[in-house]
């Protein structure tokens, strides 16, 4: 009974720690899902632009399709962390060349086909920009720092409250904070999907490249 107030404090501290971890994990998982979905969206957008480029008659349409195939290969290189900046620079240059090539090919193309191709190309470029923004967005550093600080303070409170008890709590407490550490590591891994154990699958882009090469 004399230790009851301390037990209440300990329960409140650990409960709040669990809530903070759950909130941060939910944020990291949500951004991971957005990054995964945007890879699928970009692959679909490139595939749509490639199909509509095929509506252009003559060598112009075939040349534009070949350029789009090369663009898809370039975008599939993004998972490699060391090449990200170089790929983004090459992407910007490839987009300028695609736009100029499309303008040259639309001279004798009916307006309905021209409009659909322009819309597909715009969507493809917009998703590429959105993918870059999603890749650079992370959990705010202040949130991670406060969470780590709170975990350390919670460990101190657990030691203070249970240290006065004669019960054998060290093993269970050790396991508890090992689990908390694993939770924090998983959160940081989800927040950095280009490296680590949990990465965003690039299979949609690989499937797109393989399909475009087969059709060419």
**DSSP track, 88-144:** HHHHHHHHHHHHHHHHHHTTTS-HHHHHHHHHHHHHHHHHHHHHHHHHH----HHHH
Cα distance between residue 216 and residue 211, in whole Å:
9
Among 144, 138, 125, 129, smallest CA distance to 32 is for 138
124-174 pLDDT, tens digit each: 999 999 998 888 888 888 888 999 898 888 888 887 777 766 556 677 778
What SS3 class is residue 166? coil
pTM: 0.82
51-69 pLDDT, tens digit each: 999 988 888 889 999 999 9
Confidence of residue 101 (pLDDT cuts 50, 70, 90): very high
């Amino acid at each position: 009974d004399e230790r009851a107030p301390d037990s209440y404090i300990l329960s409140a501290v650990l409960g709040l720690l669990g809530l903070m971890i759950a909130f941060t994990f939910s944020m990291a998982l949500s951004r991971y899902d957005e990054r995964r979905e945007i890879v699928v969206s970009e692959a679909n957008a490139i595939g749509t632009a490639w199909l509509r480029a095929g509506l252009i008659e003559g060598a112009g349409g075939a040349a534009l399709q070949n350029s789009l195939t090369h663009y898809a290969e370039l975008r599939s290189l993004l998972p490699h962390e060391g090449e990200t900046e170089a790929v983004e620079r090459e992407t910007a240059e490839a987009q300028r060349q695609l736009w100029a090539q499309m303008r040259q090919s639309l001279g004798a193309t009916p307006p309905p086909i021209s409009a659909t191709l322009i819309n597909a190309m715009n969507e493809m470029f917009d998703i590429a920009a959105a993918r870059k923004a999603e890749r650079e967005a992370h959990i705010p550093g202040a949130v991670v720092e406060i969470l780590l600080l709170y975990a350390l303070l919670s460990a101190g409170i657990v030691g203070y409250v249970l240290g006065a008890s004669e019960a054998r709590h060290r093993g269970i407490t050790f396991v508890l904070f090992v689990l908390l550490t694993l939770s924090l590591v998983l959160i940081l891994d989800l927040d950095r999907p280009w490296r680590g154990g949990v990465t965003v699958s690039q299979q949609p882009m690989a499937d797109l490249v393989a399909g475009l090469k087969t059709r060419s």
